Structure formats: C-alpha cells, structure tokens
Amino acid sequence: MYVVYVLKSIIKDYRYVWMTQNIEIRLQQHNMWKTKSTKAYLPFEVIYTENFKDSKEARIREKYFKTWKWREELKKIINY
C-alpha cells in the first residue's frame, strides 16, 4: 500500500507533499534531518493522508496534491 501525505512545518508556513509506503518511518526521516529538501523547515507534523493500492495511482494523486486547486481544497478540509 502507498500513502500520499501532506506535512506541515510546525514553525514555518511550509507544506510538503510526497508519497511513501510507510508514513511513520518517513515522518521520522523528515524530522531527523534525513531529507535534504525539508531540513530548513523542521519539525513537521502530518496533516493529511490518502491510501492507494499501487504506486501509479499514488503518483497521480501526489501530482494533483501539488496543484493550487488542491491547496484551496486542503484549506477547507483541515481549516488552515
């Protein structure tokens, strides 16, 4: 199973979208300085996830999550 996730920086106004097979391990990696692209925005919390059976479906959804349209929808879903 694949998970598309949205992280929110706790200290800065920054969101990060990606996909993984293990969200718990991936969040630990982000928060332990293991991901170069997110180091400047630590620490993170997971604010949204969606599960998928295969990587192809997850990748399509991940790309949608990175659009402005989705960001507006996300604001309504989680009230940020």
Vertex 66, ends 65 and 69: CA angle to 5°?
A: 75
Q: pTM score, two decimals?
A: 0.86
Instruction: State mean pLDDT over 22-45.
Output: 93
Banded pLDDT at 8 (limits 50, 70, 90): very high
Task: Assign a CATH topology to domain 2-78.
Answer: GIY-YIG endonuclease (3.40.1440)
Which residues are bridge partners to 52 per DSSP? Answer: 2
- The answer for residues whose C-beta is within 8 angstroms of residue 57's C-beta and 6 or more apart is 2
Q: Is the pLDDT of residue 80 over 60?
A: no
Give CA 61 to chain center in angstroms. Answer: 11
Q: Is the pLDDT of residue 62 over 80?
A: yes
Structure tokens at 47: 């604010």
